[in-house]
Amino acid sequence: MTNEQEYAASFAEIHPPLGRREALAEANRCLYCFDAPCSNACPTHIDVPGFIKKIASENLGGSAMTILNANILGLSCARVCPVEVLCEAACVMHRYNRQPIEIGRLQRHAMDHFYGTGRGLPAPAADKPGRVACIGAGPASLACAAALRQGGVQVTIFDSRPLAGGLTTYGVADYKLRPSDSQQEVELVRSLGVEFRLSVEIGGELRLKEMEEQFDIVFLGVGMGRAHPLAIPGETLPGVIDALRFIADYKMHRGAPVGRRVVVVGGGNTAIDAATAALRLGAEEVHVLYRRSETEMPAFQFEYELAKQEGVRFHWLTQPVAVHGSAAVESVECVRMELGSPDRKGRRQPQQIPGTNFELACDMVIPSIGQSRLLDFLSQFRDVRLSGGCVAADPETGQTSNPRYFAGGDCVNGGREVVDAAAEGKRAAAGIARRLEAMHG
Amino acid sequence: MADLTTRFAGIDSPNPFWVASGPPSNCGDQVKRAFDAGWGGAVWKTIGEPIVNVSSRYSSVDWNGVRMMGLNNIELITDRPIATNLREIAEVKKRYPKHAVIASLMVESRREAWHQIVRSTEDTGADGLELNFGCPHGMSERGMGSAVGQVPEYAKLITEWVKEVARTPVLVKLTPNVADIRAVARAAKAGGADGLSAINTLNSITGVDLDTFTPRPDVGGKSSHGGYCGPAVKPIALHMVQQLAGDAGCGLPVSGIGGISGWREAAEFLLLGCHSLQVCTAVMHYGYRIVEDMIEGLSNWMDEKGFRTLDDFRGLSLPRVTEWQHLDLNYKIVARIHPELCIGCGLCYIACWDGAHQCIHIEGAGTPEQLLAESRARLTQTPAVAAVDTSQTPARRIPKVDQQECVGCNLCWLVCPVESCITMDRVDTGVAAQSWAQRGA
């Protein structure tokens, strides 16, 4: 699909913006709870009733600042946060036989106003001694850099990709957040005076030793590594593309080639994003294979519901064992699974049932079974201890075992939401600021 | 079904609901439609020498997303010729002989002018006259309306002039824009009035346009104070009708006006001694159709309470209004929060801390500020899988009342959004009743 109009229609926002009157009515429904559960459920602790009250009073500028003061990624989070399990799940309205307040859409309303006016943020504090490098330009680094810069610290963000924003730019379904949206946020951070050095390979062009000489502190917001391979025969055939690459491709080009019958492997939120995108791009059938059952699926319920409504077919207790095809993908050979005894985490381990192999004809396979850890990359950082493949960092300050290194986001938490990365980046900024204070007095 | 027939100052109507003098009773076609909808009577929009109106004429106060909590108007009396109004009154009266048709009158303060208008009006067959001594805007600048109603001597004099020739009952409509409404009521009684209508509108400026800086309503860049009415004025009206109904020196029946928009308010005015009820703003907001619920609701409530006629409960609440000095100082109630109904909004807690007596507590928290700080310091993450229980209020969010300290002020009960979640329970102090008056004696 190359037609821009078709693309725009297919990827129209699933949560369209609220009109002024709608927003006012919704804002007025908010009870203005004290010590509000919604705020407490937000990893960045946005003062939700506070910003909603300001929407109700039509103080939209103030509302936006309430959001951005807690979470510089207020725009992205308004669109991509799983509000159904966060703020909106905590809303007291559930126990009042009412619909929870549409916090995500109200936040979007305030953010749209803020970016619409182009007024920007107040100038940062006067420059302070100390320089910080943020490696990776995703949500964790953006949040960390913005908070530091607002406090007067010089910050440079490095990323190997040409656009900043990390997964908010490359990895979120386009019907939730577009690259043009995430770039507004990047520009906001840039407007504070944060320097961006993009398309730079860390460790290669910029050696770590140099970096340590140039910067007092290094923040690691490097995210996760490559997509896990399926590790089955045939996965190098043309037509096999991992979910993150598939999503990044169609987002960057506003369209991408897609098969007629597509098989997505995996049961997470990214698998759902890939499956619904494949349908939107013109696939006739999209099948999701998951090796456990419906109840174990890690995707959020609302994401699963969306996919079902759109016609994605789910195959439970099904695992691919080979991809077949002569020149390109022609089918996936699957095997039925059953759930065995629970593992250490209490999840029942799926086991193949011998003799239940079957073939599913398809011309595209999208593995989405998680990302690997950046072990090799991370092990370059001197004295930065890893734990379970992730960077071990103090959850309160983000400090690692090397006091000059701080970290946050997926590389620490193993892959959570944008808002978690934003929270960790913000906390790390506070930790770094204290550290710089101690270093420079 | 209860009997709603009404006799007020010698005027009969099938029910106590009258359309008040104002835009909804401007012409014959309107009044006919009102009667067809179920209204028991109508006070014709004030007749006098035709005036010229301005545009715009109304402005309102919206509150929390609800429109027209209070309405303000700067419209004057009828702008139609006296003869036209009188002809239509005659027509209406002929077609609806059982309905009450009252003519509201306002002419210049000359004896002959009043004699003339009274005679020609009564020739129409109208059931009574209402002297408009109340309108606070426009006409008052010409020595009419509230300019009369604010000076007991003028009110008495004009009432006397009217009574010199009137054959039908004469009602005096009072302005609330006075220090003590009883003074003018007594003057009206001395002048021979048969009944009172109260209240007319309150002097008001509803707001200022924050872009043009012109108060509302805007008449070419200027505004003028208007008359305020609608739901917002009900408490003021109730107080004033109670003063009138409870005043032996006045002793005239009262037609209650001011913020009546449903049967509940109607019952309240009747319980405070009113004989009929007049409605304007609610009709302007929703149309004549609202009377159906007023009649039905009042009637159902009467059936439920065992009242057959309006006389059965008229003024029932009057003996329960007393001076503060006679209230029992030893009567004690305390707040009780019913945890099974609590949704955990914290509104009672913060209201008690900031607006009352600091006797509602959240377990483990000191001040509200400490509670907030602790919440903000708590690290929160997005739950990995949607396993959020929205049905239960966490126990620590349910506030507790220190009943020893509780003064029984009602504030928590008033702010609680959930019906019956907070009750104010009687505490037997074991001390005999004693009022301030008794204590001082």
Task: Tell me the pLDDT tens digit for each residue of B60-81.
Answer: 999 877 899 999 999 999 999 9
**pLDDT one-digit tens code per residue, B345-401:** 999 999 999 999 999 999 988 899 999 999 999 999 998 765 667 788 999 999 999
Q: Closest approach of chain B CAs to the CA of A238, in angstroms?
A: 33
Which distant-in-sequence residues (6+ apart) come within 8 Å of A251 by Cβ? A169, A170, A174, A178, A179
For residue A72, what are the CA distances in angstroms to A113, A192, A317? 15, 11, 41
Q: Which of A25, A41, A95 sits opposite B380 (nearest CB)?
A: A41
Residues 326-365 in B contacting A (C-alpha not used; CB under 8 Å): 343-347, 349-350, 362
**pLDDT one-digit tens code per residue, B203-222:** 999 999 999 999 999 999 99
Measured between beta carbons, the chain A residues lying within 8 angstroms of B65 are 24-25, 28, 56
- pLDDT below 70 — which residues of chain A? 1-2, 204-206
| Ranges for all domains in chain B classified under CATH 3.30.70.20 | 325-371+393-440
Q: Closest approach of chain B CAs to the CA of A62, in angstroms?
A: 17
List the one residue out of A123, A92, A176 whose CA is nearest residue B421. A92
Interface touch B381/A25, C-beta < 8 Å: no
Six-digit token string for B268: 């309240």
Six-digit token string for B235: 């408490």
Of all residues in chain B, the one with the smallest CA distance to A420 is B381
Interface touch B383/A40, C-beta < 8 Å: no
Which distant-in-sequence residues (6+ apart) come within 8 Å of B255 by Cβ? B8, B18, B171, B195, B196, B197, B198, B274, B275, B276, B277, B278
Taking phi first (over 0 means left), then psi (-120 to 50 degrees means alpha), and beta for anything else, what does residue A270 get? alpha
Interface touch B343/A92, C-beta < 8 Å: yes
Q: What is the pLDDT of residue A137?
A: 98
What is the sign of the dihedral through the CA atoms of A108, A112, A113 and A118? positive
End-to-end Cα spacing for chain B: 50
**Preceding amide of B56 cis, omega within 30:** yes
What chain A holds in terms of domains, given with CATH numbers, is: 14-117 (1.10.1060.10), 131-225+372-440 (3.50.50.60), 243-367 (3.50.50.60)
Q: Is B69 on the interface with A (CB under 8 A)?
A: no
Measured between beta carbons, the chain B residues lying within 8 angstroms of A96 are 343, 417-418
Interface touch B64/A89, C-beta < 8 Å: no
DSSP secondary structure string for all residues of B59-98: EEEEETTEEEEEEEE---S--S-HHHHHHHHHHHHHH-TT
| Ranges for all domains in chain B classified under CATH 3.20.20.70 | 6-320
Measured between beta carbons, the chain A residues lying within 8 angstroms of B350 are 34
What three-state secondary structure class fits A58? coil
Element (DSSP H or E) covering residue B394:
none
Three-state secondary structure of A77-114 = HHHHCCCCCCHHHHCHHHHHCCCCCCHHHHHHHHHHHH
Q: What is the pLDDT of residue A99?
A: 94
Q: What is the pLDDT of residue A1?
A: 46
When pLDDT is averaged across residues B111-116 and rounded to a whole number, the result is 97
Of all residues in chain A, the one with the smallest CA distance to B394 is A37
Interface touch A85/B383, C-beta < 8 Å: yes
Q: What is the pLDDT of residue B112?
A: 97
Q: What is the pLDDT of residue A382?
A: 82
Interface touch B344/A37, C-beta < 8 Å: yes
- Of B135, B342, B406, B421, which is the active-site residue? B135
Q: Closest approach of chain A CAs to the CA of B383, in angstroms?
A: 7
Which distant-in-sequence residues (6+ apart) come within 8 Å of A205 by Cβ? none
Measured between beta carbons, the chain B residues lying within 8 angstroms of A101 are none
Q: Are A159 and A201 in contact (CB under 8 A)?
A: no
Q: CATH number of the domain at B325-371+393-440, please?
A: 3.30.70.20
Rounded CA gap, A338 and A349, in Å?
8
Strand residues in A73-228 grouped as ranges (E): 131-135, 154-158, 195-197, 217-220
Six-digit token string for A69: 């003061």
Q: Are A188 and A360 in contact (CB under 8 A)?
A: no
Of all residues in chain B, the one with the smallest CA distance to A422 is B381
Measured between beta carbons, the chain A residues lying within 8 angstroms of B348 are none
**pLDDT one-digit tens code per residue, B136-149:** 888 889 888 899 99
Measured between beta carbons, the chain B residues lying within 8 angstroms of A99 are none
Q: Closest approach of chain B CAs to the CA of A177, in angstroms?
A: 19
**pLDDT one-digit tens code per residue, A77-123:** 999 999 999 999 999 999 988 899 999 999 999 999 999 999 999 99
Q: Are A384 and A405 in contact (CB under 8 A)?
A: yes
What three-state secondary structure class fits B388? coil
ipTM field? 0.87
Q: Closest approach of chain A CAs to the CA of B216, in angstroms?
A: 19
Q: Give percent of chain B with pLDDT exceeding 70.
A: 99
List the one residue out of A34, A35, A81, A106 whose CA is nearest residue A417. A81
Cα three-residue angle A369-A297-A244, rounded to 5 degrees: 30
- CATH architecture, range B6-320: Alpha-Beta Barrel (3.20)
Rounded CA gap, A74 and B174, in Å?
56
Any idea which of A196-205, B35-44, B301-310 has the lowest mean pLDDT? A196-205
Which distant-in-sequence residues (6+ apart) come within 8 Å of A64 by Cβ? A51, A74, A110, A111, A113, A114
Whether the per-residue pLDDT at B441 is higher than 80: the answer is no
Q: Which of B64, B350, B380 sits opposite A40 (nearest CB)?
A: B380
Q: Closest approach of chain B CAs to the CA of A29, in angstroms?
A: 8
Measured between beta carbons, the chain A residues lying within 8 angstroms of B388 are 85, 89-90
Q: What is the pLDDT of residue A205?
A: 63
Mutation site for A-interface testing, chosen from B372, B380, B418 by largest number of A Cβ within 10 Å: B380
Measured between beta carbons, the chain B residues lying within 8 angstroms of A90 are 388, 390
In single-letter form, the type of residue at position A13 comes to: E
Q: Which of A33, A35, A420 sits opposite B382 (nearest CB)?
A: A420
Q: Is B418 on the interface with A (CB under 8 A)?
A: yes
Q: Catalytic annotation on B135?
A: yes
Element (DSSP H or E) covering residue B170:
strand B170-173
Interface touch B362/A35, C-beta < 8 Å: yes
Rounded CA gap, A136 and A265, in Å?
28
Burial A385-405 (b: 16+ CB within 10 A, else e): ebeeebbebeeebbbbeeebb
What three-state secondary structure class fits B430? coil
Give pTM, 2 decimals: 0.90
When pLDDT is averaged across residues B21-46 and rounded to a whole number, the result is 98
Which residue, chain included where needed, has tokens 């002793």? B251
